[in-house]
């Protein structure tokens, strides 16, 4: 079957290890389901995999892709929860938690297999392309906001780095849930888009906000960390799920953190129950993922290049015909 996969690890030039071509189709196994992939979306996790973060050399070649929506063996339209081993279903209770492409082949292919427990019904209100955006970036944003930040309608939230998948999701979900959302970006066009999606105000990265906020959604890392901490109200929470600019900020702001009793909460992906809630939320409210571009699977390299350059606003989706 045709697939998009990591053939080599290159920490400095990750796209040099990206290959498109034939790979073995997944084999049926007890407790697992084979899904015909209709749509799959890119995440920065895929770039990190090509750098060898979370992906060991002995696992190569590895089909990339965490997210997918498609058709299962019984003809049902489904969405995949891409965290394997979280529950023991399909892999046994002692297997450590991992994300597709770390231990198991991913979704950038004609077919993928996952534990049957990881297969959820796709709401009829969502297209395959929309549904394929939800299991990683949008689920991450959902958990960051509503589980780990603990915000309520009327609270204020700063979203760093408008344009990325998680950040875009946080703006849309926050607005729909009655939060007052502020956003940052170095790019004027992305700031404008953030306002169109519902942000109250969008400012340049590092600029002073009109008020301090209850929570910060942080995925950028080193470049925005100091600004995130300084933007919080006393007792506020910064939730971090990524560090695309590096994980070693020059100013950790420890004094401010303990003096103002701020909370720093790590967040990774989300549970199957949270994904079910997110799917229901989108179906009921009309909220839809922001899609930057839809490409056929054989043009995946273009999507990777666009994501690596930071040029996208929202999700890049790959599709299979039929």
- The answer to whether 115 and 91 have CB atoms below 8 angstroms apart is yes
Q: How confident is the model at residue 314 (pLDDT cuts 50, 70, 90)?
A: confident
Domain ranges (residues) in the chain: 2-133+289-319, 136-266
How would you classify the pairing of strands 111-115 and 32-41? antiparallel
Query: How far does CA 149 lie from the centroid of its chain?
Result: 17
Q: How confident is the model at residue 311 (pLDDT cuts 50, 70, 90)?
A: confident
Cβ neighbours of residue 147 under 8 Å, at least 6 residues apart? 267, 270, 274
- DSSP reduced 3-state for 3: strand
Question: Looking at residues 84-88, what average pLDDT do you find?
Answer: 74
Question: Cβ of 223: how many Cβ atoms within 10 Å?
Answer: 18
Question: Looking at residues 91-101, what average pLDDT do you find?
Answer: 86
Q: Given this model, what pLDDT does residue 86 score?
A: 63
Q: Given this model, what pLDDT does residue 313 score?
A: 86
Measured CA to CA, the distance from residue 52 to residue 212 in angstroms comes to 38
Q: How confident is the model at residue 87 (pLDDT cuts 50, 70, 90)?
A: low
Question: Looking at residues 72-88, what average pLDDT do you find?
Answer: 90
The answer to whether residue 94 scores a pLDDT higher than 60 is: yes
CATH architecture of 136-266: 3-Layer(aba) Sandwich (3.40)
Same fold yes or no, 2-133+289-319 and 136-266: no
What would the pLDDT profile of 108-122 be if each residue is shown by its tens digit? 999 999 999 999 999
The answer to whether residue 305 scores a pLDDT higher than 80 is: yes
CA distances from 164 to 75, 99, 136, 145 (A): 33, 20, 12, 16
Q: How confident is the model at residue 133 (pLDDT cuts 50, 70, 90)?
A: very high
Q: Given this model, what pLDDT does residue 77 score?
A: 98
The answer to whether residue 24 scores a pLDDT higher than 80 is: yes
Q: How confident is the model at residue 244 (pLDDT cuts 50, 70, 90)?
A: confident
The mean of the pLDDT values for the chain is: 94
CATH number at 2-133+289-319: 3.90.180.10
Question: Looking at residues 274-281, what average pLDDT do you find?
Answer: 96
Tokens representing 73 are: 């063996």
Query: Structure pTM?
Result: 0.92
Q: How confident is the model at residue 310 (pLDDT cuts 50, 70, 90)?
A: confident
Measured CA to CA, the distance from residue 233 to residue 229 in angstroms comes to 9
Q: Given this model, what pLDDT does residue 82 score?
A: 93
Q: How confident is the model at residue 192 (pLDDT cuts 50, 70, 90)?
A: very high
Radius of gyration from C-alpha coordinates of the chain:
19
The answer to whether residue 217 scores a pLDDT higher than 90 is: yes
Report the share of the chain in percent with pLDDT over 70: 99
Question: Looking at residues 201-230, what average pLDDT do you find?
Answer: 95
The answer to whether residue 159 scores a pLDDT higher than 90 is: yes
């Amino acid at each position: 079957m045709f697939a998009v996969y990591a053939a080599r690890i290159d920490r400095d030039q990750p796209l040099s290890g990206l290959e498109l071509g034939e790979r073995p189709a997944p084999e049926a196994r007890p407790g697992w389901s084979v899904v015909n992939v209709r749509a799959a979306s890119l995440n920065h996790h895929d770039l990190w995999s090509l750098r060898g973060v979370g992906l060991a050399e002995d696992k190569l070649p590895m089909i990339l892709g965490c997210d997918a929506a498609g058709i299962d063996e019984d003809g049902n339209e489904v969405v995949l929860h891409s965290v394997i081993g979280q529950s023991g279903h399909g892999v046994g209770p002692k297997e450590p938690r991992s994300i597709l492409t770390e231990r198991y082949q991913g979704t950038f292919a004609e077919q993928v297999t996952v534990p049957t427990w990881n297969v959820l019904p796709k709401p009829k209100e969502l297209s395959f392309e929309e549904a394929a955006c939800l299991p990683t970036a949008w689920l991450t944003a959902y958990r960051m906001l509503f589980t780990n930040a603990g915000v309520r309608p009327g609270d204020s939230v700063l979203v760093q780095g408008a344009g990325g998948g998680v950040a875009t999701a946080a703006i849309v979900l926050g607005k729909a849930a009655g939060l007052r959302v502020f956003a940052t970006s170095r790019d004027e066009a992305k700031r404008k888009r953030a306002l169109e999606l519902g942000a109250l105000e969008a400012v340049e990265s590092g600029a002073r906000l009109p008020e301090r906020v209850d929570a910060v959604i942080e995925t950028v890392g080193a470049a925005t960390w100091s600004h995130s901490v300084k933007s919080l109200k006393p007792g506020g929470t910064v939730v971090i799920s990524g560090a695309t600019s590096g994980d070693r900020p020059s100013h950790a702001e420890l004094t401010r953190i303990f003096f103002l009793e701020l909370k720093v909460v790590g967040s990774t992906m989300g549970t199957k129950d949270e994904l079910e809630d997110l799917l229901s939320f989108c179906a009921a409210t009309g909220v839809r993922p922001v899609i930057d571009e839809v490409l056929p699977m054989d043009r995946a390299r273009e999507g990777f290049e666009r994501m690596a350059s930071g040029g996208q606003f929202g999700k890049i989706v790959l599709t299979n015909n039929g």
